[in-house]
Structure 1
Amino acid sequence: MAQPKHYESGGFPFFVESNCFERSTPFRNPVWARFFIWELGLLSSRDEVLLHAFVLMPDHFHLLLTLNQDNNEANISKVVKSLKGRSARGLNFIFEREGNLWQKGFHDRIIRVEKSIRRAIEYIHNNPVEAGLVKNPGDWPFSSYWAYADENRFKLPVRIVKPVLV
């Protein structure tokens, strides 16, 4: 099956989702989850993306990010491929395993309306609640929720750049 075409956003944020291979749940293991968060932190420190929000679930992730328009190398496909590839290679090496970690490809949507950006952030942060994993978004350890609710409580090694509208 052909992968969907990914378009450039013209400075608008991308809402990105990617699933684990065969909907496996490797990120139930907090060590695996922390490694992915570390890789996400490396991504967020590069100048090609502005990461606005994220959540890592047991079997998938959601990101809200904007490509840096000043960086001609920025490309959504390259960014997601890099994150997935680095995390898979690292985890396979650390845990001496082989095989796929991620499903091929990813889904993305360009968000152009302020209200939709707010909704995307709320959706991302409420994903663990909707999945029945926690009662409150702040109880889930692998999201950017606290970067919005109380920056002093956000302790993950990830740089969050809030959209100007928030």
Structure 2
Amino acid sequence: MPSQTPPHSQSLRKGRVSEPGRLYLLTSATHQRRPLFRDWQAGRALVAEIQQAVASRRVGSLAWVIMPDHFHWLLELKEASLDALMRTLKSRSAIAINRHLGEDGQIWQKGYHDHALRAEEDVQGVARYIIANPLRAGLVKRIGDYPFWDAKWL
């Protein structure tokens, strides 16, 4: 029987370090890239979990966008490890999304991608790039027309 693990998923964890005070760009995709977040309530469930992570002071949110089948989140790590943060976010959002959909299936792909920003990287430039995803994907003509994004600099 073929493996259900996506290629290179183990390599996503190699060398992963969680440094409080460091900026990270996190990306995670839905299981089989299912476009769950075309559904308003499913998108709102993920937004609520992002807001909960910020309210709990585990992270400081700089920018995020939720695309139909994945999300990007630029954040400053505070009190949590990346693994604990993503485990909680994905678990709690999966429960809420499944409840809304009347399902009990897998919502998220295993693992996630993280990129620790370097000192020389333009943080606002990275945030602009994240937020422009719906424009590049042709989902909207103006970012203000897209419902699932936020940035600290508004």
Q: How would you bin the TM-score normalised by the shorter chain? A: 0.7 to 0.9
Evaluate the alpha carbon distance shift between residue 64 and residue 133 of structure 1 in structure 2; reply closer, same or farther with a 3 A threshold: same
> 2:41 touches 2:100 (CA, 8 Å); kept in 1?
no
Partner amino acid, structure 2, of 1:61: F
Alignment match, 2:10: 2
Mapped partners of 2:84, 2:91: distance in 1:
10
Q: In the alignment, which of 52, 59, 67 is matched to residue 62 of structure 2?
A: 52
Mapped partners of 1:45, 1:83: distance in 2:
13
Give 1:4 shift: 2.0
Give 1:3 shift: 4.9
Partner amino acid, structure 1, of 2:117: I
Q: Stretches of 4+ moved more than 4 A in 1?
A: none
Mapped partners of 2:109, 2:122: distance in 1:
26
Q: In the alignment, which of 132, 140, 146 is matched to residue 140 of structure 1?
A: 146
**What is the identity percentage for the equivalent residue pairs of Structure 1 and Structure 2?**
33
Give the aligned length.
144
Q: In the alignment, which of 95, 111, 119 is matched to residue 125 of structure 2?
A: 119
Q: In the alignment, which of 85, 98, 106 is matched to residue 104 of structure 2?
A: 98
Q: In the alignment, which of 28, 36, 39 is matched to residue 38 of structure 2?
A: 28
Alignment match, 1:131: 137
What residue ranges of structure 1 are gaps of 5+ in the alignment? 150-166
Mapped partners of 1:10, 1:84: distance in 2:
20
**What secondary structure is seen at the aligned counterpart in 2 of 1:102?**
coil
Partner amino acid, structure 1, of 2:10: A
> 1:9 touches 1:110 (CA, 8 Å); kept in 2?
no
**1:13 correspondence with 2:23:** yes
**What secondary structure is seen at the aligned counterpart in 2 of 1:9?**
coil
Mapped partners of 1:2, 1:53: distance in 2:
27
Q: In the alignment, which of 85, 88, 94 is matched to residue 79 of structure 1?
A: 85
1:62-105: CA deviation from partner (whole Å, max 9, x where unpaired): 0011111xx3xx10111011111100012212332021111100
TM-score (norm 1): 0.80
Q: Which piece of structure 1 moves more, 26-35 or 8-17?
A: 8-17
What residue ranges of structure 2 are gaps of 5+ in the alignment? 1-8
CA RMSD of aligned residues (A): 1.6
> 2:65 touches 2:150 (CA, 8 Å); kept in 1?
yes
Evaluate the alpha carbon distance shift between residue 105 and residue 127 of structure 1 in structure 2; reply closer, same or farther with a 3 A threshold: same
TM-score (norm 2): 0.86
